[in-house]
Chain A
Amino acid sequence: RKEVEQDPGPFNVPEGATVAFNCTYSNSASQSFFWYRQDCRKEPKLLMSVYSSGNEDGRFTAQLNRASQYISLLIRDSKLSDSATYLCVVNPPNAGKSTFGDGTTLTVKP
């Protein structure tokens, strides 16, 4: 089993749709979690951290479910510019290496 698993998609949605991605992780001791966005042929960029209480940034909402060991990203009112690959990242405790998921590809169509 991979340490971090994401549904690769692709997710194809119309503008204005709401879409959600999940990311499961295997190390129950994992402490911090992030979502990154990667545009085609560009570097990954931090989208948001994921906090235990859940957090929201505009149209984006991230949640953590420790009991079931997954994090989620919800995008409301999708825009064409949201088309990208979304990567989840899981940090183990202490100074262990971060693990990136393989990414979920989203295409928002007019």
Chain B
Amino acid sequence: ETGVTQTPRHLVMGMTNKKSLKCEQHLGHNAMYWYKQSAKKPLELMFVYNFKEQTENNSVPSRFSPECPNSSHLFLHLHTLQPEDSALYLCASSQIAGDPYEQYFGPGTRLTVT
């Protein structure tokens, strides 16, 4: 497989469930990102990891918990979510975080919280 992959592609969960989103990049990159995109809204950066260290937490509620065990894998653990958390969750990677590198996105996980 090439590029950035995300699983699952679709997820429906209740507010009391716990689930995890997985992202894997096959590009040899060292930075990985989580973004949230609600319907017809702009991208919102959630977390940035650079060389496995979290370098950015964009005031994300604690019901979202990221984990980066190595430079190729990124998880987003979800618990006690709210209906307004329903959105497309996008993972991205880049050579390193920031200048001069571009980001490559996975296809996203479309999350519905019921």
- A interface, CB within 8 angstroms of B: 31-32, 34, 41-46, 49, 87, 89, 91-98, 100-103
Q: A42-B107, A44-B105, A45-B105 are in contact. Are A98 and B42 (CB under 8 A)?
A: no
Binding site for A on B (CB under 8 A): 42-43, 45, 48, 50, 55-56, 88, 90, 94, 96-108, 110
The answer on a CB contact under 8 Å between A94 and B104 is no
- Taking a contact as CB atoms under 8 Å apart, the answer to whether A87 and B102 are in contact is no
A43–B90 alpha-carbon span in the complex (Å): 7
Which residues does chain A contribute within 8 Å of B100, judged by CB atoms? 31-32, 91
Q: Which listed residue, B42, B88, B98, B101, touches A100 by the CB 8 Å rule?
A: B42
- A43/B106 in contact, CB under 8 A: yes
Given the known A-B contacts A87-B43, A98-B98, are A41 and B48 also in contact in the complex, defined by CB atoms under 8 Å? Answer: no
Q: How far is the CB of B100 from chain A (nearest CB, A)?
A: 4
List the A side residues contacting B98 at CB < 8 Å.
91-98
A-B contact count (CB 8 A): 62
Most buried by A among B50, B101, B107: B101
Among A31, A41, A43: residue with most chain B CB under 10 A: A43
B97 CB, nearest partner CB in chain A, Å: 5
A residues less than 8 Å from B90 (CB atoms): 43-44
Most chain B CB neighbours (cut-off 10 Å) among A49, A91, A98, A100? A98
Residues of B within 8 A of A93 (CB): 98-99
- In whole angstroms, how far apart are the Cα atoms of A103 and B104 in the complex? 17
Q: Could you say which of A32, A46, A96, A100 contacts B43, with CB atoms under 8 Å apart?
A: A100
9 A-B residue pairs with Cβ-Cβ distance under 8 Å, sorted by A, are A42-B108, A91-B100, A91-B101, A95-B97, A96-B98, A97-B55, A97-B98, A100-B43, A102-B42
Complex: how many Å from CA A46 to CA B96? Answer: 16
Contact residues in B for A97 (Cβ distance below 8 Å): 45, 48, 55-56, 97-98
Besides A31-B100, A46-B102, A97-B97, 20 other A-B contacts (C-beta < 8 A): A32-B100, A32-B101, A43-B105, A43-B107, A44-B105, A46-B103, A46-B104, A89-B102, A89-B103, A91-B98, A91-B99, A91-B101, A95-B96, A95-B98, A95-B99, A97-B48, A98-B98, A100-B42, A100-B45, A102-B42
